[in-house]
Chains A and B, each alone.
Chain A
Amino acid sequence: MTLYIDAGTTYSKIIADGEKLDFLPVKNENGFLYYIIPSSEVRFLDLKFKKSCGHMFSDENSENEIIALAQGCKKDIEPDSVVLDLGSRDAKWIRFKNGKFRDMDWNTSCASSTGATVEMLLKFYDLKTEDLKFNPEKYNVTCGIFGFEKIMDDISKGVNASDAVSKFVHGIAFNAWNFAKRPEKIYLSGGFCNNECFVKSLENYCDVVKLGRFKLCEGLIDG
């Protein structure tokens, strides 16, 4: 069995070529089985990976995440494209022109406006992702910690927690669009593809094509 892993901060995305793991796959495509497993559990599975990327797993076969993203998405995008991967703890984007790499950036220092923060907010206010709805208003979340303050202020004034967190998510979408240099269209990769509030918020600024959560992992196979 050949295994590939994108070991994110919260979840690991695993693709198995052939045999099944003791988990329910989320997808079965072209002979490959796709799994999403909490990263905290992966270390106990005693699995050997042919290639890996991500913050939570590192060995001699580890690949750079930007390289994995570039390799994984190239078959799904137009020659002139911007791909944004927004995960638990960081955001990264690549711009292609005529099918070739042109520009990139990777926010590597501050994770206060990414997926892990949203997950914490959902837990803190006992909300589900589905409770969040696009809100045309947004908080300025250039600093996520200041964004927290806005949420708490609004809730203390009677705003629903789901509305307040939705405004926070809108702020993250606005930041992500600016971070990617305000493109007209974004190919979105990562866990935020499953957050409709985020996707709708991003669509407020540009067209969005969802690539799902496995592009980095697929890039390990293609690379």
Chain B
Amino acid sequence: MNTQKNVKIGFWGCPERTLVNELKSKYPNADWLDLDLDLNAPDKHILPESYCKIIKNIINNSLGMKDKLDIIVAPIGKDKCDSGWFAAQLLKDMGFEVIECINPNIDKKRPLVISTSNLPLYDKFNIIMNNIIDEKALNAAQCKPKFGFWGVPPNDMEILKLFPDETHVYGWTRCVERGTPADVAEEMYVEPDVPTVFYAQSFCAKCQLAKYLADKYNGLYIDIDDYATNSVRAKIEAFLRLS
């Protein structure tokens, strides 16, 4: 392992705060890296061609910086997904130091500040995800929702810029703000009268939930593999203009 000064810790999902704090205490100068994100790592073709882009990011990012990545914090429970569990096994098998973890918290809910704020939707997602490791007290003006966006942070974050600021966040990302990423009741919560886009990454098991909820609440279901095409953008735009 590198010296403590430049330890690099990769993570995905929303690891439990206690574990994050333990590691921050042990490695106070560590660089933390969200492996869920598309960091332009070359595709190592470990996973099938048609597979969840987020999991591909995890594998490709890890392999792309193999010599520099000291620890991988790997949520493997319902707070992430079965694919996350398999990814952890693959990375262990390939020689990475993997700390498997499960975030079971569904009781100690933090209040919502960002999901229900009037900040740009793109900023809402960034603030919520950045708060997983660097926890800060959050404050933002609240607004009534004109629209909703349900789901995980999309691989193509640019689609979030199509939405007006008065868009509330629902689904897993809202759970992350709560600190309860495994709380499926919270994940399934939406406001029935708020026109909502239900988003899932193509080939992700959450497509099941997104499609079901979109049908139930007359929302718009979209799944995107990699980056959004112009047609998908037009579909979202039409939903927002007609609703």
Contact = CB atoms under 8 A, between A and B. Distances in A.
Given A94-B242, A101-B243, A104-B239, A64 B218 contact: no
Interface string B189-222: 0000000000000000000000000010010110
Contact of B241 (A67, A103, A105, A106): A67
Contacts, number: 41
Contact of A104 (B229, B231, B232, B242): B242
Contacts of A106: 231, 234-235, 238
Given A101-B243, A109-B229, A65 B218 contact: no
A90 B234 CA distance: 13
B237 interface: yes
A141 interface: no
Contacts of B218: 102-103
Nearest to A65: B234
Contacts of B232: 108
Contacts of A67: 238, 241-242
A107 to B, nearest CB: 9
Interface residues of B, number: 15
Interface in A93-140: 94, 101-106, 108-109
Contact of A101 (B215, B234, B242): B242
Interface residues of A, number: 16
Contacts of B241: 64, 67
A177 to B, nearest CB: 16
Nearest to A106: B235
B237 A64 contact: yes
A140 to B, nearest CB: 20
A102 B221 CA distance: 14
A70 B239 CA distance: 11
A77 interface: no
A103 B243 CA distance: 8
Contacts of B215: 181
A59 B41 CA distance: 35
B155 to A, nearest CB: 16
Contacts of B242: 66-67, 70, 94, 101, 104
A108 B235 contact: yes
Given A64-B241, A66-B242, A67-B241, A105 B220 contact: yes
Residue among B221, B235, B241 with the most chain A CB within 10 A?
A: B235
12 contacts: A66-B234, A66-B238, A66-B242, A67-B238, A67-B241, A90-B231, A101-B242, A103-B218, A104-B238, A105-B221, A106-B238, A109-B231
Closest 10 CB pairs of A and B: A108-B231, A66-B238, A101-B242, A106-B235, A103-B218, A64-B238, A64-B234, A64-B237, A67-B238, A108-B232
Given A109-B229, A181-B215, 6 more contacts: A65-B234, A67-B242, A70-B238, A103-B218, A108-B229, A108-B234
